[in-house]
Structure 1
Amino acid sequence: MRLAIAYDVSDDSTRRRVYRTLESYGAWKQYSVFELDVTRTERVELEDRLESLLDDGDRVRIYQLCANCTDGITEIGEESEGEASNVI
């Protein structure tokens, strides 16, 4: 399943841990936004890992993208080095 994940984390060290966790599952797309292609099992595992990292006031939003949604994605501008998607 394809997911778009956005996060708002205030503490720098927590934000780095969230970033590294998400990076292990998919591609960083923009500041605090990732796209992932995961199985249902991986999604549950990811949600558990993220929940264990977050402090009071931190937020993570997970959007499941259907095939029609992903077909409608438009990217404008150049992709920076190091931002190349590992999502197939």
Structure 2
Amino acid sequence: MTMRLAIAYDVSEDSNRRQVYRTLQRYGAWRQYSVFEVDVTKTDRVELEDELESHIEPSDGDRIRIYRLCQSCQDNTTDLGSDPPGEQSNVL
């Protein structure tokens, strides 16, 4: 069984930010500048969290926040404005 997660990140160093972006890209879809949505199993989630944690420096103020989206939340999601970004990114 999979779960949907919304993951937001704020990573100060370019190389770390690229690693976080590439890691998340393997698991799901880029939705906004520093936000991804991913569908993962419980095992995948543990692996993802471990990998993400290895790419950040908390002492630099880096943060990653993970939200689990229940089905009701997913069904009530509203997008305003332009479509989510495509494969091209402005990640440095």
Q: TM-score, normalised by structure 2?
A: 0.85
Paired positions, count: 83
**CA deviation string 1:41-87 (max 9, x = no partner):** 1000000001111112210000000011001101122315615xxxx
Match 1:15 to one of 1, 14, 17: 17
Match 2:75 to one of 71, 76, 84: 71
Match 1:60 to one of 52, 58, 64: 64
Give the fraction of aligned pairs with identical amino acids, expressed as a percent.
Answer: 67
Q: Helix, strand or coil for the counterpart of 2:46? A: helix
User: CA RMSD, aligned part only?
Assistant: 1.2
Q: Helix, strand or coil for the counterpart of 1:44? A: helix
Q: TM-score, normalised by structure 1?
A: 0.88
**CA deviation string 1:2-32 (max 9, x = no partner):** 0000000000110000000000000000010
Q: Distance in 2 between matches of 1:50 and 1:81?
A: 22
Consecutive unaligned residues in structure 1, runs of 5 or more: 84-88
Cα distance change of structure 1 residues 81 and 67 upon mapping to structure 2, 3 Å threshold: closer
